[in-house]
Structure 1
Amino acid sequence: MTSPQSVIDAAWGTLPPSGRTVETAGRYTSARMERIIQIVVAVGCLTIGSQGFFSSLELAGTGALHGILRGTVFLSLLVMVVLCIVGWGARTASAVFAFLYPVSLLLFPLATADSPPNPAAQPWPFFLISLAATGALIAFPLPWQYVWAIGTPLLYAAVRLWTGGFAFEFWVGVGYDVSVAVILNLVFITVGWVLRSLGAGVDAARVQAVLSYARAASADAGEQERVAVAALMHDSVLAALIAAERAQTEREHQLAVSMAREALTRLANAESDDPEGSDEPVARGWIADDIERSAGELGVHLEVERVGIGPAAVEQPSVPGRVARAVALAATQAIANAVQHAEGAGLRVRILRSGSGVRVEVADEGPGVDVAAIPSDRLGIRASIFARMAAVGGEATIESGARGTIVALTWTGDRPA
């Protein structure tokens, strides 16, 4: 039966790739939304920042401090724009610019001390007010975004009024400009919050949808398995029991035994997806090859020791196909038990002749197991090993102690399969 986790993994595999190896599939929409915000911010900052840069050239002769201040601010803005477009390091670059802008406002009066303020002309820091807020939009959590959206315009207003000596003509222009800047900043922050909330909501809905699908698929697989087992019990096991109860003659007894063996085989193979296939004889080497292949599917790399057995391609077929598959499946179950309970310590497999049949030994050096103490509802040994071998006229024995466990699977060929 398919596990819910495997269904979830398969469902996530159908989602479009995010383009980032560090992003999980559960944040696909949020990641896309974040990239959209970064690109829009980069385009807006490039456009408005260019206007501010050309405005700053009018004050190029105010001293070295102004040149350093202007170069630092606009260089950090350019780095922020580039990294937002690239999609790498955008948060760090945005945080640097968001911090540098308030510092530049505080240093701006000192850098332009030899240039008298003009109430009719805006200084270049004015053009970057909203850009500082968008930098905070990329870099900071929501509460701090609103602090930058409101705080930077107010700081600009304080610096502007102070450099203008709090003259009346400065109050009118600054009041209008700061009011517009605060409104725009709040709109930017709110739109970003809405877009991110939408992305998170879509991701959450996708997760719930996948989980619902996984639960439905798991329930459907369980129902199909229940129906299959019920049909098996009705068609094979129950029919064999009825035939055995009604058997009177020797022929009827033989038929009941044959039906019982077939029912045991089908019941033992119920957990396997392998088809029953043909009953044509196969070489003993085929069993060794199949055991190695099945062990590899379990993640165990081993080579079966072949005693007196040649390659499957040249050896004379002597083991019925149904017997060979039963022996290989029982050996695979023994290997799985050794890996699970003994961590594969000293795991080795040997195949050899047994009369006209075959014998397979699976040994490990684990702590051993008390077969008699295994609960009756644990079918890993009883159904997958003992019942499977009994169903084809074979025998399974387990020798276990403190030095390890040996599972021997024998089909001598002197009993009908």
Structure 2
Amino acid sequence: MSADQGLREAWERISTPGEVGQELERFAGRRMERIIAIVVGVGALALGTQALVNALLKMRVVDVPHVSMMALVFVPWGAMLVCCALGRAVRLTAGIFFVAYIVDLALWPFVATHQNLDPSDQPWIFFLVNVAGVAAVVAFPLGVQVAWALAGPFLYGTVRLVQGDFQRGFWVVTAFDVSFTLILGLVLVALGWMFRSVANGVDEARGRAVALYTAAATAEASEHERVAVAALMHDSVLAALIAAERAETERERALAVDMAREALTRLANAEAPAQEGSEEPVQIERLAEDLRRAVGQMGLSIEVEHFGHGAVPDRVARAMALAARQAIGNAVAHASGRGLAVVVEGHGDTGLTVKVSDTGSGFDPAQVGADRLGIRASILARMAAVGGVATIESDRHGTVVTLGWSQS
């Protein structure tokens, strides 16, 4: 796999800002839904088991209608419990159970027995009223939840009175059951609404915080970039102005013009993406030829010496050529090009070295201001970006800039 293919694959694996933002926006809400599903599963297990045991122990008639009614509600109940435990398809199975229970409740007066009933003996379907309520909390919007919490107990009460033929003994017991399920259902709906509101509030606060931080980070990055570009342009323009001010011969004037043209070109291309090059091998002789051409464009008559042989990736060759041109420009601007020499040395398949030296008065690299990016950005950082190194040795006898890259 080439480096370009590897980079593309790596970028494809990184989530986009929009995807990350969507995950963050619903972080607390998703966790709260999971908690609600677990709590609903535990409650539904307790009440549903009670209903199932009651149905099996008190079944008077074993026929297709009675067994079908039990299967109609208990099969979705079991599926809902499994999904609550797994955290998958909870809303779907809870919704199916809710609808199945309503159907079961509507069929109850026509299937359940009406003879020899004890008003205090609650039928198994009573224990599932609030299970249907929590299923609605999981599966449906708040309006449906409230509607069932208010209407569900009365629907059960009506069905129970119909089964008891509206006898006096059923009214008191049914009224108590209806009031109990009504209060409990409203409490469950209120708790679900409260916890979800808190989670949504947390998500909204996090979203606002992330948006503010992103805006601040973007503004800071833009400001840093503006300062860096301004400093780099300042170095280029300053070097061109110094060269123009010191130009006495026709060759030096041509060099000043070329430096000014390069500064203007950099300014025009400041918004363009950097051309980093590819991993295709480039012969060292080509790099030496590019430096000779650059030296000729600057109007200098020095010879670029070339030793050894080998090849380096195109991106490395471009970076070293640009760094070397910056070093040559610095030598011309600050040392008037005295004793300027450029040496390109290939080390076969192991690497490459480029040296740019002059016999000027030298300088102290540690005293270079942080806002001066001619050395830091154009030489040191550029070499570091391609896995190379750059060293600067300078004293009163001159300056030597060494650019090195080795095959790892």
**TM band (smaller chain):** 0.5 to 0.7
Q: 1:166 matched to which residue of 2?
A: 166
1:219-276 deviations in whole A, cap 9, x for unaligned?
112211221233233332145236525644557536634643663575477557879x
SS in structure 2 of the partner of residue 312 of structure 1? strand
Q: 2:333 matched to which residue of 1?
A: none
**Closer/same/farther in 2, CA of residues 213 and 256 from structure 1, 3 Å limit:** same
Question: Do residues 44 (structure 1) and 43 (structure 2) align?
Answer: yes
Gaps of 5+ in 2: 1-13, 295-313, 320-408
1:121 deviates by 1.3
* Conservation of the 8 A alpha-carbon contact between 1:38 and 1:138: yes
1:325 deviates by 7.5
1:22-68 deviations in whole A, cap 9, x for unaligned?
x8443222122111111111111011110111111233232412222
SS in structure 1 of the partner of residue 289 of structure 2? coil
Aligned length: 285
Q: 1:312 matched to which residue of 2?
A: 282
CA RMSD in angstroms, aligned pairs only: 3.5
Distance 1:168 1:61 in 2: 24
Structure 1 vs Structure 2: percent identity of aligned residues? 45
Q: 1:209 matched to which residue of 2?
A: 209
* Conservation of the 8 A alpha-carbon contact between 2:114 and 2:163: no
1:140 deviates by 1.1
SS in structure 1 of the partner of residue 232 of structure 2? helix
* Conservation of the 8 A alpha-carbon contact between 2:247 and 2:253: yes
Distance 2:224 2:156 in 1: 70
**Closer/same/farther in 2, CA of residues 326 and 155 from structure 1, 3 Å limit:** closer
**Closer/same/farther in 2, CA of residues 260 and 325 from structure 1, 3 Å limit:** farther
Q: 1:32 matched to which residue of 2?
A: 31
Question: Do residues 225 (structure 1) and 225 (structure 2) align?
Answer: yes
1:200 deviates by 2.1
* Conservation of the 8 A alpha-carbon contact between 2:24 and 2:207: no
* Paired letter, 1:93: T
**Closer/same/farther in 2, CA of residues 55 and 225 from structure 1, 3 Å limit:** same
1:259-294 deviations in whole A, cap 9, x for unaligned?
43663575477557879xxxxxxxxxxxxxx7445x
Distance 2:23 2:172 in 1: 51
Q: 1:177 matched to which residue of 2?
A: 177
Distance 1:262 1:326 in 2: 21
1:313 deviates by 5.2
1:102 deviates by 2.2
**Closer/same/farther in 2, CA of residues 59 and 89 from structure 1, 3 Å limit:** same
**Closer/same/farther in 2, CA of residues 8 and 245 from structure 1, 3 Å limit:** farther
**Closer/same/farther in 2, CA of residues 264 and 320 from structure 1, 3 Å limit:** farther
Once the two structures are superposed, the pairs formed by residues 378-389 of structure 1 within 5 Å of their partners are: none
Q: 1:126 matched to which residue of 2?
A: 126
Q: 2:55 matched to which residue of 1?
A: 56
1:145 deviates by 0.8
Q: 2:357 matched to which residue of 1?
A: none
Once the two structures are superposed, the pairs formed by residues 400-411 of structure 1 within 5 Å of their partners are: none
Q: 1:244 matched to which residue of 2?
A: 244
Q: 1:144 matched to which residue of 2?
A: 144
1:210 deviates by 2.0
1:66-87 deviations in whole A, cap 9, x for unaligned?
2221122111211111122222
Once the two structures are superposed, the pairs formed by residues 78-157 of structure 1 within 5 Å of their partners are: 78-113=78-113, 115-157=115-157
1:346-405 deviations in whole A, cap 9, x for unaligned?
xxxxxxxxxxxxxxxxxxxxxxxxxxxxxxxxxxxxxxxxxxxxxxxxxxxxxxxxxxxx
**Closer/same/farther in 2, CA of residues 200 and 71 from structure 1, 3 Å limit:** same
**Closer/same/farther in 2, CA of residues 41 and 326 from structure 1, 3 Å limit:** closer
Distance 2:125 2:56 in 1: 12
Gaps of 5+ in 1: 1-6, 16-22, 276-289, 294-303, 305-310, 330-417
* Conservation of the 8 A alpha-carbon contact between 2:277 and 2:315: no
